[in-house]
Amino acid sequence: MIKTTLVALASAFAMAAIAPAFAQTTAPAPQAPTAVQQDNQNIRQDRRDIRKDEKARAEDRREARQDERKGDFKDARKERQAAHQETRDIHQDRKELHQDREQRREDRKK
């Protein structure tokens, strides 16, 4: 029992000696992104949103055309409304993209 206690104490002292050295070798804590980096992230996100919305709009328009060919005008109308909503989303995302670009220009001047 005494032997295991001594081994445990020895390993605890060894860890105490290693811990400060390990703390010095670890990477520093990540910093918050700068204003320009944040603007770049926002621009990338807006571009992703635009691509996603354009893809959804194309799918809705395709489904609307298929429904019209089948003579199912009620479903075609729903698909056209969904495509219109996606179009509004695209316009909103493009507006945000423009604002983010302007903000990035202003941040770079500072």
Domain parsing of the chain, residue ranges: 31-109
Among 35, 53, 49, smallest CA distance to 104 is for 35
Among 100, 108, 105, smallest CA distance to 50 is for 100
Q: Which residue has the higher pLDDT, 52 or 34?
A: 52
Segment 72-77 shows an average pLDDT of: 95
CA angle, 87 as apex, 83 and 92 as ends, to 5°?
Answer: 145
Task: Please state the pTM of the whole predicted model.
Answer: 0.64
User: Would you say residue 21 has pLDDT above 60?
Assistant: no
User: Highest mean pLDDT: which of 6-20, 47-61, 96-110?
Assistant: 47-61
